[in-house]
Amino acid sequence: MEERDKRPNKDFFSLDKYKLDEEWEEQPRLYFQHALMLADARYKWELAKSNRAVVAAEIDVDIRRDPSKYGMKTASPKEAVENIVLLQKQYREADSNVIKAKHEVDIIQAAVEALEHRKKALEKEVDLFLSNYWSEPRGSKSARQYGEDLEKKDVRSRGKKTDDS
């Protein structure tokens, strides 16, 4: 299995509204990259769970072969053996590996979900762009004409000399 970066790429949280075409082109690549990372993390998690089960079985067999090694007179009842298995260093290490692997899965799952939100944000940015959200404000034709007339009047009045001069 090919080893990929273990942590999500955090650069996908900011969108450049002036390069929406580039953002859209990048979206499938980012999603696929993180979906693969998630699959790899799930694979490692399953391996860790399998290893933990093997460690538990090996300890269980060892306890039943030599209960005195673990402070027991006999290897029964079953619950006692199970509890001793849980206390063994090898089992605790294997269990810790399962927990770490599951944490990695959860982190990458969060990244994949964030990419879903990124996709939705891109869709909304495009909607805003298509509705001219970032365009310059424009008034109606009559309002523009009125403003132009006021500006002409102001310029003309500045050019007139007063009676005192």
CB–CB of 115/31 below 8 Å? yes
Q: Is 112 exposed, middle or buried (0-12, 13-18, 19+ CB in 10 A)?
A: middle
With residue 101 as reference, give the H or E element that holds it. helix 89-130
**pLDDT value of residue 99:** 92
Tens digits of residue pLDDT in 20-66: 888 888 888 888 888 898 899 999 999 999 999 988 888 888 888 88
Percent of the chain past pLDDT 70, that is, above it, reads 84
Q: What's this model's pTM, rounded to 2 decimal places? A: 0.58
Q: Which residue has the higher pLDDT, 163 or 78?
A: 78
Tens digits of residue pLDDT in 107-130: 899 888 888 888 888 888 888 888
